[in-house]
Amino acid sequence: MKIDFKDKVIVVSGSSKGIGLKIAQSFLESEGKVVILGRTKSVLDKINQNFSESFSLDSFLILQCDVTDPNQVKSALTKVQEEWNAIDIVIANVGDGRSVSDPLPSQSDFSKSWNTNFTSAETLARESIQGLIKSNGSLVFISSIAGLESIGAPTDYSIAKSAIIALSKNLARKLAPNVRVNCIAPGNVFFPGGSWDERIKKDPDRIQNLIETAVPMKRFGTPEEIANAVLFLASEKASFVTGACLVVDGGQTVGFH
């Protein structure tokens, strides 16, 4: 199924690596105009170099932006409007599952995780809503199966990801019919440099056993598989889908429902 995003302007946060980078690349391959948001200039410079070899320079815009900071988000979205005069699709992707194992983390740890995993999504949504209403656009949040069930993930991370699902459902009802709002809940996704890569290097046998026993598909997911789900929900192929949370986890949470 070919999905065409020709002339659509797509903003993807957390798109300097892993899932977010693959989402951005997939939209570009589908002829969208893509805005890549990330915090680290050296990483963004490398993406700029790589993308310049594969895509036309007028098809992507790379902006340094901390999406937990409303002022930086406003500035970035203003640049997008100046460049392309529209915002059609927004993908709120920032997340980090690294935390502590305490049943209830310290206030400092909890606030840090909340900022990274929830405030980043809330801020991007808040600042982009008016543009999405104007374009009858689509907003997709990236949550986690940790936000659906207690699967042993850090408490602070799980709660933040659960709140994202609640936010997406509330916005879906209250922004309809002007804006469609949906959510993806990925399971265990491997990519070089990611948290699962770190865990495998520390204890490969334990992680292999975990995946084979917890995931019916007996493997990790890939960033491309998550990107495929995102592109579907963001596209006109899903024009009657809003308020959904699509689980992409190889069956890991099937037994919980």
Backbone angles phi, psi at 7, to 5 degrees: 70, 5
Tallying the residues shown for the chain, one arrives at 257
Quick one: tokens of 14? 């957390």
Residues 93, 94, 97, CA angle at the centre, nearest 5°? 115
125: how many CB neighbours lie within 10 A of its CB? Answer: 22
Asked if residue 183 lies in contact with residue 164, where contact means CB atoms within 8 angstroms, the answer is yes
Q: Which residue matches tokens 């491309």? A: 224
Q: What are phi and psi of 74, to 5 degrees?
A: -60, -45
**Catalytic annotation, residues:** 157
Query: 164 CB contacts (<8 Å, ≥6 apart)?
Result: 92, 117, 118, 121, 141, 142, 143, 147, 183
How far is residue 192's CA from residue 19's CA, in Å, rounded to a whole number? 11
Structure tokens at 52: 């310049």
Contact partners, residue 36, CB within 8 Å, separation at least 6:
12, 15, 16, 21, 24, 44, 47, 60, 61, 62, 63
